[in-house]
Chain A
Amino acid sequence: MMINDLILRVVTKWLSPIIILFALYVQFHGDYSPGGGFQAGVIFSTAILLYALTYGLDAALKVIPETALRVAASFGVLLYGGVGVVSMLLGGNFLNYSVLADTPLAGQHIGIIVIELGVGITVAAVMILLFFTFSRRVDPE
Chain B
Amino acid sequence: MVQKLRFDQVAVGDEIPALTVESVSRMDFVRYAGASGDFVPLHYDQTFVEAVGIPTVFAQGMFTAGLLSRCLTDYVGVGQVRRFKVRFTTRVWPGDTITCRGKVTKKYQEQGENRIEGELEAINQKAEVAVKGSFVAACG
Q: Do A and B make up one complex?
A: no
**A interface residues with partner B (beta carbon < 8 Å):** none
**B interface residues with partner A (beta carbon < 8 Å):** none
